[in-house]
Amino acid sequence: MRITLFGHQNIGEMGKADKTRACYQHCCLRWVCRDYMTNATLRKRLGIDDQNYPMASRIIKDTMDQGLIRLYDPENKSNRTRKYIPFWS
């Protein structure tokens, strides 16, 4: 068995791969806690200011493009109330 522990990094120190991994892991954690990931929960988790919501949106889009997360309700057209779940759920 091999385990990798990642130390704390600020959002500015993370590369694209680190951001998508953090987004995926956050989404998985929310799912096993019987909740959903949203733009707001990701901003809070990564310490992104509320006015920088496009940064969180970009991270979510990149993570979706990699197929790691998906929309909970694809019929929902409102960007503000979108919820995300892991691809395997």
Residue 86, helix vs strand vs coil: strand
The whole model's pTM is what?
0.89
Q: In whole angstroms, what is the distance from residue 26 CA to residue 85 CA?
A: 10
Gyration radius (Cα) of the chain, Å: 13
Q: In CATH, what class is 14-86?
A: mainly alpha
Please report where in the chains the tokens 């691809």 appear, as a residue.
87
Stated as kind and residue range, the H or E segment containing 84 is strand 84-86
* Average confidence score pLDDT of the chain: 93
pLDDT in tens, 24-40: 999 999 999 999 999 99
Position 27 scores a pLDDT of 98
**Which of the four pLDDT bands, split at 50, 70 and 90, describes residue 80?**
confident
Q: Which two tokens stand for residue 83?
A: 């919820």
CA nearest neighbour of 59 among 13, 10, 11: 11
